[in-house]
Amino acid sequence: MKAVVCTKYGPPEVLHLTEMAKPVPKANEVLIKVHATTVTVGDTRMRSFTVPRGQWLGARLYLGIRKPKRTILGMELAGEIEAIGQDVTRFRPGEAVFASTFEVGFGGYAEYKCLPEDGLLAIKPANLSFGEAAAAVGGGMTALRCLQRGRIQPGQKVLVYGASGAVGTNAVQIASRHLGAEVTGVCSTANLELVRSLGAVRVIDYTRDDFTGDGPIYDVVFDAVAKVAPSHAKKALKNTGVYLNVHKDSDAPAKVRGAALLAVKELIEAGKLRPVIDRVYSLDQIVEAHRYVDGGHKRGNVVITVGQADHENQETSS
């Protein structure tokens, strides 16, 4: 099969397309023919080994001391089940699925991936293309898990900082259309209209205005890009308000993550949530895609089509 490998840490050019053996599912695994994956900021950080100083050793031990030990990046994917192991009962060959590879050492940048049937895997939302479905996984689950910690009530004022990123675009939609909050989105000038279209009743351009300027008026402030000092963000919170941070509030046990993926699927099928797609590249354009995401300004998600997915993406999107 074709796969993109990352055999050393560095700039996008360290990624290269290669041929390798197609994986064979174990008894409890499904073999997925991947149609789409994504480039997240997490993928680019693992490629370049860009981690906060205090996490250097832990991250190096996990990712590989001298070079990456998990050579195929790609945390999200969508595709079709081609084969199943003998003990698999939840899925059948031919079913379209979307999944996170976060718990199994990544691996979306390949034509095939094996996942345990009880992993972060679910039937693909019927109303999304494979590309959209791959992009729906991480940002949707992360935004949902963080916002759940805010115990948001309908009508409450919620501010989403970094509203144009993968997590932010999901958070604006979930907070407004699912939780019934009055959402203010903070983004740059070019993204004001996008964020408004996702359900924000108010938008603040961070390049011109400081969102704390109105004083402590929000019930929840969610920093979806972890770019604001917590002490500054808290100036916008009411006394009883809740501060949420994408890095500190997105952790959850596997069972909760599984439930979040199913909840994201339900929200998508109910028409309350749709991933925002910025650019689409093919697997052999992975270097270009990583260069773009390295820039730090993607709007929503960057999708990578794998194999013949372009045609299938169009057929299954509605």
Ligand X SMILES: NC(=O)c1ccc[n+]([C@@H]2O[C@H](COP(=O)([O-])OP(=O)(O)OC[C@H]3O[C@@H](n4cnc5c(N)ncnc54)[C@H](OP(=O)(O)O)[C@@H]3O)[C@@H](O)[C@H]2O)c1
- 241 to 270, contacts with ligand X by CB under 6 A? 246, 250
E strands, the chain, in order: 2-6, 15-19, 29-39, 76-84, 96-100, 112-116, 121-123, 157-161, 182-187, 202-205, 218-223, 237-245, 277-282, 301-305
Q: How far apart are CA 267 and CA 250, in angstroms?
A: 19
Options 139, 241, 258, 307; binder of ligand X; rule CB under 6 A: 139
Considering only 29-37, 56-64, 113-121, 166-174, which stretch makes contact with ligand X by CB under 6 A? 166-174
Closest approach of Cβ 238 to ligand X, in Å? 22
Q: How far apart are CA 263 and CA 80, in angstroms?
A: 21
Q: What binding mask, one character per residue, do residues 279-308 give for ligand X by CB under 6 A, x or -?
A: -----------------xxxx---------
Q: How far apart are CA 88 and CA 121, in angstroms?
A: 13
Helix/strand/coil for 208: coil
Options 2, 227, 272, 291; binder of ligand X; rule CB under 6 A: 227
Number of residues that bind ligand X (CB under 6 A): 26
Helix segments in 81-209, DSSP class H: 130-149, 166-173, 192-197
Decide: is 167 part of the binding site for ligand X (CB under 6 A): yes
The 8-class DSSP code of residue 178 comes to I
Q: What binding mask, one character per residue, do residues 175-204 give for ligand X by CB under 6 A, x or -?
A: ------------xx--x-------------
Closest approach of Cβ 308 to ligand X, in Å? 26
Decide: is 174 part of the binding site for ligand X (CB under 6 A): no
Binding residues for ligand X, per CB under 6 A?
A: 40-42, 138-139, 142, 162, 164-168, 187-188, 191, 206, 224-227, 246, 250, 296-299
